[in-house]
Structure 1
Amino acid sequence: MATHQEAAVKSFFVYCPELSTKEGTEHLKVLFYFPDTAQLNRKIRNIGLCEALVNFCKTFSPDKPCETVHTQKTKQAFLEPEPGIWMTLTVTIPCSETIHNSERVLEYHEHLIQDSVVQAALQRSYNMFKLFNGTMRGIEATQSVEGLKKRLDVFYSRYWKNIDIARHNIFSVLQGIPFLPLDKYMYLKVHCFVNLVETTFRQIKRTVFVCGDQLVWSGLEQEDTRIFYQYLYDSWLRHNPNPEASGIPSVPAGPNTGSFILEDETGGKKNTWVYVMINQMLTPSRLFVYAVGPCVLCMFVQTDDSPGDDFIKRISVFLGPRLMHLTTEIRDFVSRNRSQSVEKQPYRMVYFNEMNLAIKSPLLSRYNSYLSITQDMMCLLTQLNAEYDKLNEGETVIRTIADYWIVARKNGHRRFFVLFTQKDVNFAEVNEEVRKICQKEFSNIYFFD
């Protein structure tokens, strides 16, 4: 009987070569190593090997350093997020164990873990660290190298224990943002509400407004919005109580319907420090997150002192009734504009726009429980997406062994993938279905025929 082992994080480390200038001081370059149980000699040996690989590749490509390395059992990704500081992530390749002639035989499935997935996981780990700690060089300058080591240890020791790399896929690579489609009138109401909040409380410099698990408004820069949305989704939106099938849960009755969420680990505090770009500078801000039903308002407060209970109370009193009223209006709008019946379509679709990071796919929705695709199909979509990183436009049509059809298109900054689960269809029928999908879902977006 065959047993299967999924991909897993084997090691992750951060090092700075310039900290070791003499032989015998190699341990000084180690800023963080996961798992911490590894012996010091192993840490030094692994980091030295990665440093040698990077330097060797620079001989052939000075402007583009080594990004990934494959072995039979692992894949490694390298990243220099800041000058002179390197990060390396090592992931085990999925394998199956079978018994052949009374002997154990291991078969490795390299196609089940794509390079782009490992690279995206590594980049995201740095983005999350930077969101809550600022830059590594900034920490080193203000708190010394030992201070940087402590910050890395506090953050990453817990971070990598919660990462299931086997569940990462095309969505982890794209890191798109689902937007809630509103008309101009409804969007203007949200905009006016946000402006009223920032005008009333001058300490609030930026805001982000989310409804359900879809973004409505963001005052952050685009990349900060992407990183912050991923954090908010992982820490709150994904674990929110099951909403109604409409996708927008009802607003609870009662005078006190709003509350602060994402409390600090110390307990009691309802804010934490984050680092975002404000006026073209990476600025530490206190994050307040206030929710009424499905609507969540994230506020970035710029102040040196910790806001007192009076400030928190004034915000709560101000936001409560206004956000409850706005939530009701948004829910009514969504209810009026959604189709009365949800038709189960014989296809799975992914659309991504690189310009505004907008992503659209029924596979992302928690309300389409009937939708699912196999791991092999998800890996194939991830591989196609990686191929399109090298192209400006193109189209690929694939028929799988299981008689599924996959159509992938890229036109400029837009990518479109569709998987047909209906069998016994030919190429002409698939092409016609793709044309109908584009007309239905993207009537105002140009896709070449």
Structure 2
Amino acid sequence: MTKRQLKLGLVPTGVGGPGESNRWLDTDIPVDASVNVDWYIDVVRQAEAAKFDLVFIVDTQFITANSPPHYLNRLEPLTLLSALAVATKHIGLVATLTTSYNDPFNLARRFASLDLISKGRAGWNVVTSGDAGTAGNFSQPEHFDYDTRYRRAVEFLDVARGLWSSWEEGALVRDRATGQFLDPDRLHRLDHRGEFFQVVGPLNLQRSPQGEPVIFQAGDSDQGRDLGATIADAIFTHAATIEQGQAFYADLKGRAVRQGRDPDEIIILPGFFVTVGDTDAQAKDIESHYRQLDQSFDQALAEFGRPFGWHDFRQYDPDVPFPVEALEYAKNSFYTQAKKVTDVAIEQGLTLRQAVERARAGRGSPFVGSAETVANDIQRWFEGRALDGLNVHLGHPSQFKRFVEGVVPILQARGLFRTDYEAETLRGNLGLPIPASRHQQAPARRDAA
């Protein structure tokens, strides 16, 4: 059996994602980092040199003036990843795109194009969109409700995978001697008619070296977990403690088994900020310094409304009990996250100020310390089945450099992380099988190293 090894992803959020309103003040970051392709190429090449599995580009399509700086002004993911594909050779290229505000044929073609451009390194983080305001940017009167969003997502992905199966191996003959370009018996229409979509097919693009893009998913509700266990090759999540990580890990793997899937073929990748210092004490000081510097209370209060459908909490006195009625505004937004915030506020009798401060403190990481300490903790989580790998948020560049130069070599020396890429494709490096076309009479295969 192949030895289980840690997986690493990079999450670059340019001038500052949630909770980092002031990160752009760091002089190590270009003030236009979120739209600067040269900056992305530089940081992704650093990750590739360290043998990271993937870079993950997050995205939404709705903003307010209170959105994080990176969200206000950033490049469209597939356009960006196509540029990164020709500037790199091995690292996987993963992007968030929504099933609520796209069409399956168009999205399947765009991802298949990235997969071919990158020679089999594309991945799709399937989301249903939590920002309810997105509806207004797509000529819709209101956002889909939870159940509709998830039913649509399941059908959307089924259509996309059906389109990626349009071509059997050998369909493109390309024989100049005979003049035959195509074997028409190996090209298949889809003829899908469902609740949300009617798609004829076939897709006008051949399959990539990894068959089809790797499917990622993130969602913590019951519907989200069921969707991930059903459709995903890998899961993006969050965990504040090893116990939370182990509980999520066991739950997702168990749901996958109940779906008839091999639990080792669904990879759990929580995201973390990692803080590394010369000593544990110095690392804690660095983390505290950045937490205070990167966002003030007033900025945090303005951003606090995002999971509540961007409800404006600044209208309330922050020193009175948390306004539980605000949960109503989260109905078609990030409801699971908003309900957790509300439930804790009720249980602990928090004021709005205390709830906001608790959210700020919750952005802390379990991976803070010297390089040795951080490596020890990552190993403990990995061997304790709290994760299969982690998505490292780039944050401040000096900290990413410390992680790459200090922590990664320790993980490599312990045999926990690769010293070179095993394969040419993202599926190969993640240890995932290559799915055959639905029309191919052959079992799934794996990418050879």
TM-score by length of 2: 0.27
Q: Which has the higher strand share?
A: 1
Structure with bigger gyration radius: 1
Higher RCO structure, 1 or 2 (CA under 8 Å, sep 6+): 2
Name the one with the larger helix percent: 2
